[in-house]
Structures are given as C-alpha cells and as structure tokens.
Amino acid sequence: MYKVFVKEIPIILSTEKNIGEHYTTIPLKEANFKKLVKKIYNGELLYVNLYHKNAEKLEQYLRKKIKVVEAGGGLVYNSNKEILFIRRNKKWDLPKGKIEKGETYQQAAIREVMEETGIKDLEIRDFLKTTYHVFTRNGKFKLKITYWYEMFSDYNGPLTPESSEGIKKVRWKNFEKSQKALQDSYENIKLLFPKEYLTTHPNDRNLKSKLHNGVK
C-alpha cells in the first residue's frame, strides 16, 4: 500500500479493493491521477483508493502520471535520544532535499541533512521508509518521493538553519517536545515515527480541541 499525500489528504494505492466504507475504489487503469489531485485541492474529494492486484504496478503508475522529484532525508538521533527538527513554512519538519546527479540516496540524505541544519559527523543506521507527497511548482503538480534514513550523530556544536531554503530554526527535541512538534507537522513525516511519539496525553488533545472551537 502507498499513501500519496495531497494537502495532508492521502490518495491510497493498494492491492485491496475494499479498504473502508468511506473510500471510493477506482481501478488503476481507469484513474486520472491529475484530475484526482485537482479535486482534492478543490476540496471535492477526500477518500480514494486506486486499486491494482499487482503491487509493482502501483509505483510504476505514479511515475508515468506525474513528474517525479526524488529526495533523501533523515530522522536524526543524538546520544541523548533527542531528534533533530527543522522549522519551515510554519511547520516542524525533518531535513531532506533533492538527490543530485550521481548521488546515491544515502549520500543525498546525509548531504541535505548537513546543509539544512549545520550538523556534522552523521552516520546512517537504517533505512526507514519511502514517503510520497504532491506539491506545486510553477503552477504544475509534481510528486516528491523521499527516501528516509535513521541517522545518528554525537555532534553537540552549534546548529545553523539553511535560510536560503526557508528554514527558520533547527532544534534538538526530546520525547515530549517531539510529540508536541508532531502535532504541528506533516502527515507523511508522522509515518516515520514509532507509535508512542504520536500518542499524546488526553489533556493535550482536550486543550487543542478547545482552542480550535474558540474556547479559552
């Protein structure tokens, strides 16, 4: 199964015809991907499942239907088990960036994390996940496919946000602060974290609900 996020709403690509009563299932060969994306952008569509019995056909379909930008990024831990976050576009995010010609996914991920945060002495410990999200560039839809790695560094020097990439802050966050940051992050970023990071105290959820409803 693939989740392709469009404005935080996932288009599901799966080998299952029925994934939930809210979802409209469309055979992959009948789907017009760009039209589906436009409908989501316009608020006309929320739940869609693109189906094909062959899992290998799912990503092949994506790569044929929309221009792809490949990127590498990192979920970075330090010796205190803190996680490295960046602040960009008024959201907490993880460092990532476009893969350059001749680079491996791993090389790109390490380079981009270093450039965006100023961190040093990075090492890759594991591959985490591939995420997919649609963005617009010059009025055209593009699909970013990001290859994520778990990384480690014992670097404790200054961190420098790459301002030319719109990064405002770089911060190490402990478990509790990471939980809070993820409440103000992106859905595809949340896929990279263990479930315990996505579980907040009930009082935090109640407070967020009250603020959303204008209750003080």
CA atoms within 13 A on the CB side of 208: 9
Give percent of the chain with pLDDT exceeding 90.
Answer: 84
CA atoms within 13 A on the CB side of 94: 28
The band of 201, judged by pLDDT with boundaries at 50, 70 and 90, is low
pLDDT average, residue stretch 142-161? 97
Q: pLDDT tens across 58-84, in order?
A: 989 989 999 999 999 999 999 999 999
Q: Is 152 helix (H, G, I), strand (E, B) or coil?
A: strand
**Kind and range of the H or E element at 64?**
helix 56-65
Nearest Cα to 82, choosing from 187, 147, 154? 154
Residue 124, pLDDT > 90, answer yes
Residue 215, pLDDT > 70, answer no
Nearest Cα to 176, choosing from 203, 210, 154? 203
The band of 12, judged by pLDDT with boundaries at 50, 70 and 90, is very high
pLDDT average, residue stretch 147-169? 97
Query: What span, in angstroms and rounded, lies between the C-alpha atoms of 146 and 45?
Result: 25
Map tokens 């935080």 to a residue.
8
Residues 170 and 179 sit within 8 Å (Cβ to Cβ): no
β-bridge partners, 145: 70, 132
pLDDT of residue 211: 40
- Under CATH, which architecture does the 70-204 domain have? Alpha-Beta Complex (3.90)
Q: Report domain extents, the chain.
A: 2-65, 70-204
Residue 115, pLDDT > 90, answer yes
Query: What span, in angstroms and rounded, lies between the C-alpha atoms of 165 and 180?
Result: 24
Helix 33-41, helix 56-65: angle, nearest 10: 70
